[in-house]
Amino acid sequence: MTSNTEDLDSIAVNNFREYLQIPSVHPDIDYGPCVEFLQRLANEIKLPVQVIEPVASKPVVIISWLGQSPNLPSVLLNSHMDVVPVMPEEWKHPPFGAEVHDGKIYARGAQDMKCIGIQYLEAIRRLKENNVQLQRTIHCSFVPDEEIGGAVGMKQFVKSKTFKELNIGMALDEGLPSVDDRFLVYYGERCMWHVTFHCPGQPGHGSLLLKDTAAEKLHNLMSKIMAHRAEQVRLLDSDPDLTIGDVMTVNVTILNGGQQANVLPSELTMTMDCRIPVTSDINEWSKTLDTWCAESGEGIYMVQSRFENAKPTDISEENPYWMRFKESVDDMGLQIETRIFPGGTDSRFLREMGIPALGFSPIINHPVLLHDTDEYLAESMFLRGIEIYMKLISSLGDIANDEN
C-alpha cells in the first residue's frame, strides 16, 4: 500500500481531475462514466460499493467503510455527481479539461461539488493507510440531479429501502466557499417558493388606451415585488451581522406573453423566485401574495411551487454530532461561521427525515464560482480539505453509543 504523502497527494489530485473530466452536465446526463469511475475508486481503496436506481437511469452510488460497531447509527457523507451547463466560449480553459494553471484546477464542478466527493474518499484512503478503525460505519453517497432540484435524486433515495438500512445518524453535505479565512457551516436552508402570476387583461389594438390591460396589472405586481426587494436589500445592508440567508430574496426570473407588437395580449405571466428565511412566517407571506394579487387587478391568479424546508439542524450542546463537529474544527484551529444556506441543497431531504445535516465545503480564500465561468479550486486547498475531512470523519465516526 502507498504511504508516502507526496504519492497520496498525486493520487488524490489525479482522481479529482479524472472525475472533473467526466462531463456529467445537464441536460440529458449519462451517469454511467461517473458510476464506473467511482466503482473503480472504491475497489482500489478496498471499500464495498453498491449502486441502486430509485428512478431508472438515475443511479445512486454508495461506498461504505464499515465500522467496528455497525449497529450504531452511521455517518453519511453526501455529494452529487451532476454539474450545471457551461458556455465553453466564455471559459479561458476547457470546462471539462481539468487543466492546472498556476496551482489552480479549472473545471466545472471544481467547487460544486466533485471536489468534496473525492476528498471524502481520499480522506478514508489515508485513514485506512494509518490503520484507523472507527466505531461507526461511514457511507459516502453520490447522487444524481441535485442541480435540478433532486426530485429524482436524493428525494427518492431517502424513501428507498436501501437508505433506511444505512441507519444514518447524521450527515455532511455541500456548503459554499468563503472569500476570507472563515470556514462556513450551514445548518439550515431557506424555503424555496416559485410563483407564476397570471395577469389577464383586455385585449385589443396596440394603438388604443384600453383599461384593465394585462400589462397594467403586471406593472402593479412588479412594483410591489420590487418595493419588497428593495426593503430586503436595505435590511441586509443595514446590519453587518446578517447574511443573504437571513433575509427574503424575491426576484422576477421569467416574463411571458404577447404575440404581435400591435396587439394587446389577453394575458401576461411573470414568474418570481422567492427564498424565505427560517425566521419568516410562511402563512403571513402567503397572505401577502394574495393581497398583492387582489390589489393589482381583477382576475390575477397564481400557480405556486413551494419546497418547504425542515427544521434546521440543532447546533446547541444538545446535539452530540454538532458538538463533536465543533470540537474537531476547534482542535484544528479553524475559524467557522454558522449560517443558513441561501439556496437549496440535498440536505433538506435529509432534515425532512429528522437527520441532522451540516453543509460544509472546506474552501477558504476563494471567489465563489459555483455555476460561474472559470470555476476553479486551488490544488493546495483541495489537499488541505482532505486533511480536514480526515479529522472530521475519524471524530464523527468514533462518537460513543451513549452520546446519541
CATH number at 171 reads 3.40.630.10
Q: What's the Cα-to-Cα distance from 271 to each of 18, 66, 182, 221, 295, rounded to whole Å?
A: 39, 47, 35, 11, 18
Q: Is 246 a catalytic residue?
A: no
Low-confidence ranges of the chain (pLDDT < 50): 1
Picking from 307, 336, 351, the residue at the C-terminal end of a domain is 307
Task: Residue 266: give its domain's CATH number.
Answer: 3.30.70.360
Is 82 one of the catalytic residues? yes
* Catalytic pick among 112, 146, 246, 379: 146
303/333 same-domain check: no
**Same domain, yes or no: 203 and 167:** no
Per-residue pLDDT, 337 = 97
Nearest to 266 by CA among 207, 196, 212: 212
Cα 64 to Cα 137: distance, rounded to the nearest angstrom: 7
- Domain limits for position 72: 5-189+311-403
45 with 142, same domain: the answer is: yes
**172 with 267, same domain?**
no
Is 149 buried (19+), middle (13-18) or exposed (0-12) by CB count in 10 A? Answer: middle
pTM here is 0.92
Residues 180 and 195 occupy one common structural domain:
no
Report pLDDT for 3: 61
62 plus 117 within the same structural domain? yes
Same domain flag for 272 and 316: no
CB 146 within 8 A of CB 154: yes
Active-site pick, 82, 112, 147, 189:
82
d(CA 33, CA 23): 9
Taking the CB of residue 30, how many other CB atoms lie within 10 A of it? 11
Of the three residues 278, 307, 336, the one that is the final residue of a domain is 307
93 CB neighbour count, 10 Å cutoff: 18
Residues 235 and 173 placed together within one structural domain of the fold: no
The residue out of 277, 307, 337 marking a domain boundary is 307
C-alpha 154/C-alpha 79 separation (Å) is: 10
Pairing of strands 249-257, 267-276: antiparallel
Instruction: State residue 4's pLDDT score.
Output: 86
Residue written as grid cell 446547541: 316
Query: What's the pLDDT at 91?
Result: 98
Check residue 226 and give its pLDDT: 98
Same domain flag for 301 and 332: no
Considering the domain architecture, whether residues 211 and 83 belong to the same structural domain is answered as: no
pLDDT tens-digit series, residues 223-268? 999 999 999 999 999 999 999 999 999 999 999 999 999 999 999 9
Partners of 99 in the β-ladder: 106
Q: Contact 358/189 with Cβ under 8 angstroms?
A: no
Per DSSP bridges, beta strands 74-80 and 168-173 are: parallel
Please indicate, yes or no, whether residues 198 and 318 belong to a single structural domain of this protein.
Answer: no
HEC string for the chain: CCCCHHHHHHHHHHHHHHHHCCCCECCCCCCHHHHHHHHHHHHHHCCCEEEEEEECCEEEEEEEECCCCCCCCEEEEEEECCECCCCHHHCCCCCCCCEEECCEEECCCCCCCHHHHHHHHHHHHHHHHCCCCCCCCEEEEEECCHHHCCCCCHHHHCCCHHHHHHCEEEEEECCCCCCCCCEEEEEEECEEEEEEEEEECCCEECCCCCCCCHHHHHHHHHHHHHHHHHHHHHHHHHCCCCCHHHCCEEEEEEEEECCCCCEECCEEEEEEEEEECCCCCHHHHHHHHHHHHHHHCCCCEEEEEEECCCCCCCCCCCCHHHHHHHHHHHHCCCCEEEEEECCCCCHHHHHHCCCCEEEECCCCCCCCCCCCCCCEEEHHHHHHHHHHHHHHHHHHCCCCHHHC
What domain count does the chain have? Answer: 2
Question: Would you state the cell numbers that stand for residue 320, as one nine-digit string?
Answer: 452530540
